[in-house]
Amino acid sequence: MDATTIRSLTDDRDLRRLAAAVRDLGESATIDLIAELPATEAAVVFRLLPKHESVDVFDRLDRGTRSDLIAALGTEELTAIFADLDPEDQSRLVDELPAGVATKLLSAVSRSDLDAVMAIAGYDRNSIARRMSPTAVVAWDADTVAEVAARIRDTDVDLADVRLVPVLTPDRTLLGTLDPLELLRCPPDAPVAEVMEPIEEITHTSDDQETAARAALTGGITVLPVCDSEDRLVGIVPIDDAARIIAEADEADFALSGGTQPLYRRYLPTPIVHLARSRIVWLLVLAVSAVLTVHVLEIFESTLAEVVALALFIPLLTGIGGNTGSQAATTVTRALAMDEVGLRDWFRVAGKEFSTGLLLGVLLAVPAFAIASPLYGLEIGAIIALTLIVNCPVAAFVGGSIPIVAKACRVDPAVVSTPFISTFCDASGLLVYFTIAISIMGL
């Protein structure tokens, strides 16, 4: 059942056939369908979902689609969905909603659930604590295998969601973990302290969520325990939630590196106005920064007037310089995200990028001189070659350094996007170009 057929059934108000069609869709297909449909039609489809399925579908929608659906649904429907979400998802939704709507939703939540939501909301927005879930089952260090197994059987949570059982001391200090499947192989009277696994990876509530999620994925663990500063267990982050954190972070980094704001929604259903709004701010910033390039050209206007041939190579030189800087910035930003380099490695990174840029400059200068000299003379060929030899290491040095400087200033390195670096390299490259030209040609 595709979006066109669903839209046709919605337009015809054929709710019986529409309900049957929606029931036959799987959860993933329903999510794709709601993302493709306009908000009003998506709301009709969403209302026809069974209650338990509607909560799962709502939780898995991307941020943009969820915002559109919230606007199309009534407060009563939204309240019912909100009440069935986990505290982690409730706190995230409260962040995304207008204050008035969020207040109405929170007023309908029970006191105990409200305490859990506000506890999560009290952490820094980018901390891993904002993405943690409560533990369904815990084991105490004095328990036996039989006692823990009984506790797992008695829980209201789907057994498939019990992937790890933390072992705690009476003050909730995390000692180790238990695999529920491994418990079946253990003697019922065995103490859990003897059969538990050592802690592979933990994170603390104040840790950055992207850094913690990447550590979890790298370590190959299924559940990441979240502890406070005294190693007392506070919650857990399942591996699928960690993967979602990384996907969201990568989407944002990719968009920002290209000079746009992340959409957080699917491309085709996104309105043109929303696409334009996500790009206009960066374009305005880049337009203002490009004034620097214009000023450089204005300063050397007389030089260009005397040797018009110099103007022919401006796009070539600025393009190579900007791309060299962007390549360096992309490489270093990825290395920072993967914790392969840190602030203490700035000198090594800067030196490595400068050397790489110098090698690239020499490799590019040879063919540039060979091509430009026969056509425009040896002086022009030498100017182009020397400019490349100077520009490339400078661009690589700047491109490799800015992400580290940004991180030191607690700014997302991806925000220092490649278009901004290209603009900077354009201006510096032109300064080098005209300075070399004046020196060689005696202008």
Helix extents (H) in 73-144? 75-84, 87-96, 99-107, 111-121
Whether pLDDT at 87 is above 70: no
Structure confidence at residue 417 (pLDDT): 58
Whether pLDDT at 6 is above 60: yes
Q: How large is the average pLDDT for residues 405-414?
A: 76
Find the range with the poorest average confidence among 111-125, 311-325, 371-385, 416-430: 111-125
Structure confidence at residue 361 (pLDDT): 95
Count other C-beta atoms under 10 Å from residue 98's C-beta: 10
Q: 391, 381, 418: which is closest to 317 by C-alpha?
A: 391
Q: Which residue has the higher pLDDT, 344 or 252?
A: 344
352-398 pLDDT, tens digit per residue, is: 999 999 999 999 999 999 998 998 889 999 999 999 999 999 999 99
Q: Say how far apart CA 116 and CA 111 lie, in whole Å.
A: 9
For residue 222, what are the contacts with CB-CB under 8 A and spacing of at least 6?
Answer: 163, 164, 238, 239
Structure confidence at residue 61 (pLDDT): 78
pLDDT above 90: percentage of residues in the chain: 10
Structure confidence at residue 119 (pLDDT): 56
104-159 pLDDT, tens digit per residue, is: 565 556 655 655 665 555 667 778 877 777 777 888 888 888 888 888 887 776 66
Q: How large is the average pLDDT for residues 277-294?
A: 74
Structure confidence at residue 94 (pLDDT): 61
Structure confidence at residue 262 (pLDDT): 65
Structure confidence at residue 265 (pLDDT): 66
Domains, the chain, ordered by start: 3-125 (1.25.60.10), 139-238 (3.10.580.10), 272-441 (1.10.357.20)
Q: How large is the average pLDDT for residues 252-262?
A: 64
Question: Are the CB atoms for 321 and 428 separated by under 8 Å?
Answer: yes
Q: Which residue has the higher pLDDT, 228 or 417?
A: 228
170-220 pLDDT, tens digit per residue, is: 888 888 888 888 888 888 888 888 888 887 778 888 888 888 888 888 777
Counting every residue written for the chain, the total comes to 443
> Residue 61, SS3?
coil
Q: Which residue has the higher pLDDT, 322 or 390?
A: 390
Residue 78's pLDDT band, with cuts at 50, 70 and 90, is low
pLDDT above 70: percentage of residues in the chain: 77
Residue 76's pLDDT band, with cuts at 50, 70 and 90, is low
Mean pLDDT, the chain, whole residue set: 78
Bridge partners for 56 per DSSP: none
Structure confidence at residue 102 (pLDDT): 59
HSE of 436 in the Cβ direction (CA atoms, 13 Å)?
Answer: 21
- Sequence letter at residue 387: T
Structure confidence at residue 136 (pLDDT): 73
Residue 279's pLDDT band, with cuts at 50, 70 and 90, is confident
Structure confidence at residue 211 (pLDDT): 84
Whether pLDDT at 98 is above 60: no
Question: 306-345 b/e with 16+ CB inside 10 Å = b?
Answer: ebeebeebbeebbebbbbbbbbbbbbbbebbbeeebeeee
Structure confidence at residue 395 (pLDDT): 92
Q: Say how far apart CA 226 and CA 129 lie, in whole Å.
A: 7
